[in-house]
């Protein structure tokens, strides 16, 4: 889960412990363009203090005002809609046609928020079920691919650890990638056993480990909320990480390198008894094709592909580095053939 949403839950638990009134708003459905995704949360304290976000600010202001006026039912959960009409969408800062559906839940000490926060601190992945008619809640273990569900009678939200990223190599490109990944709310671990690189690592918000890459992969127990990116150009390091990462359920495993180097890498990995299905999960050359040349540009390219994989977006071949470069080469060959034909005709 995003650190912002974890902050919402922790603040709610703290306010409840202090005897404060708390309203929890959760985005349960969106239509058209919307500023925040399903599952985004906002906590409003009785005096109007807020943590979290469900829009660009206008819906938050409206909910605060409604809470102060007493227009929100605090006896049981309720549903609110915003942006159904174009005029209302404009008023609340939504794109024309955008619509948000929110569940508004008055929290009490029986809502289980403190128990949920404790479970999250221990690294658990938890499904929380809210009964709309009674306001009762229950917690249960969740699977990594579970998502938010709302049928009008029950709201099930999934809460768990932040997405993780393991970066192999502590070079210049890794520093840009790690910095941007932290901004995207990943919990970033950088692995490099080479002291000449790790001794100078200075990226805030990241963890540096000096073990061998395969040991780091095994230690982290990667799951569907994990990404692995090998950036050292050293087969002794990159291949060790990849041979273990491709056996996990990590949603993204990628390696830097040219098309030729990546073909050779796949051949080497076959010697480690990786199946063709496991090898097919390897993204390489890593990133999408944007003509990137500098380390910051390459980092953007990589994170764009990681983000697409995280969000379940299948990229067309022309956006992938290998497909785009192959298409450019074919186009260049075609132009050369046409040029030669034109020269013969001129003779």
Same-domain status, 176 and 314: yes
Same-domain status, 109 and 215: no
Same-domain status, 169 and 154: no
Same-domain status, 121 and 263: no
* Domain presence at residue 187: yes
Same-domain status, 169 and 151: no
Q: Of 130, 159, 188, which residue constitutes the final position of a domain?
A: 159
Exposed e or buried b for every residue in 122-157, given b needs 16+ CB within 10 A? eeebbbbebebeebebeeeebeeeeebebeeeebbb
* Domain presence at residue 333: no
* Domain presence at residue 342: no
Same-domain status, 309 and 171: yes
CATH number at residue 193: 3.40.50.720
Same-domain status, 153 and 179: no
Q: Of 95, 126, 159, which residue constitutes the final position of a domain?
A: 159
- 257-301 pLDDT per residue, tens: 888 898 999 999 998 888 999 999 999 899 999 888 999 999 999
* Domain presence at residue 152: yes
Same-domain status, 132 and 231: no
Residue 5, pLDDT above cutoff 90 = no
- Select from 81, 8, 74 the least CA-distant residue to 44: 8
* Domain presence at residue 175: yes
- 97-150 pLDDT per residue, tens: 568 899 999 999 999 999 999 998 888 889 999 999 999 999 999 986 788 999
Q: What is the pLDDT of residue 116?
A: 96
* Domain presence at residue 241: yes
Same-domain status, 215 and 319: yes
- 168-194 pLDDT per residue, tens: 999 999 999 999 999 988 999 999 999
* Domain presence at residue 53: yes
The total domain count for the chain is 2
pLDDT: is 60 or 346 the higher one?
A: 60
Task: Supply the range of the domain harboring residue 131.
Answer: 3-159
* Domain presence at residue 344: no
- How far apart, in whole angstroms, are the C-alpha atoms of residue 269 and residue 160? 33
Same-domain status, 144 and 215: no
Q: Of 112, 133, 159, which residue constitutes the final position of a domain?
A: 159
Same-domain status, 142 and 58: yes
- 19-73 pLDDT per residue, tens: 999 999 999 998 766 667 889 999 999 999 999 998 867 889 899 999 999 999 9
Same-domain status, 194 and 252: yes
Q: What is the pLDDT of residue 347?
A: 47
């Amino acid at each position: 889960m995003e650190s912002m949403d974890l902050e919402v839950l922790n603040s709610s638990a703290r306010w409840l412990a202090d005897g404060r009134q708390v309203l929890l708003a959760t985005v349960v459905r969106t239509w058209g363009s919307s500023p925040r995704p399903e599952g985004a949360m906002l906590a409003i304290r009785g005096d109007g203090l807020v943590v979290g976000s469900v829009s660009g600010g206008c819906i938050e202001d409206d909910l605060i005002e409604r809470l102060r006026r007493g227009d929100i039912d605090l006896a049981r959960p309720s549903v609110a809609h915003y942006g159904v009409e174009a005029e209302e969408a404009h008023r609340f800062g939504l794109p024309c046609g955008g619509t948000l559906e929110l569940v508004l839940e008055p929290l009490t000490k029986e809502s289980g928020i403190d128990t949920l926060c404790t479970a999250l601190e221990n690294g658990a992945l938890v499904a929380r079920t809210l009964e709309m008619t009674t306001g009762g809640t229950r917690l249960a273990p969740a699977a990594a691919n579970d998502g938010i569900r709302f049928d009008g009678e029950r709201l099930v939200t999934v809460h768990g650890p932040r997405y993780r990223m393991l970066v192999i190599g502590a070079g210049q490109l890794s520093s840009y990638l790690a910095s941007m990944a932290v901004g995207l709310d990943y919990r970033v671990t950088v692995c490099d056993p080479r002291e000449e690189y790790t001794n100078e690592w200075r990226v805030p918000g990241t963890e540096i480990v000096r073990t061998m890459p395969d040991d780091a992969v095994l230690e982290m127990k990667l799951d569907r909320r994990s990404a692995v990116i090998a950036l050292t150009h050293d087969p002794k390091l990159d291949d060790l990480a990849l041979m273990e990462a491709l056996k996990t359920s990590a949603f993204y495993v990628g390696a830097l390198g040219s098309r030729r180097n990546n073909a050779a890498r796949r051949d080497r990995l076959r010697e480690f008894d990786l199946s063709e299905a496991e090898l097919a999960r390897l993204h390489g050359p890593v990133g999408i094709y944007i003509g990137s040349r500098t380390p910051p540009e390459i980092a953007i390219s990589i994170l764009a592909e990681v983000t697409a994989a995280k969000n379940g977006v299948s990229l067309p071949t022309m956006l992938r580095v290998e497909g785009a470069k192959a298409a450019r080469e074919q186009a260049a060959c075609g132009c050369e053939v046409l040029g030669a034909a034109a020269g013969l005709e001129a003779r």
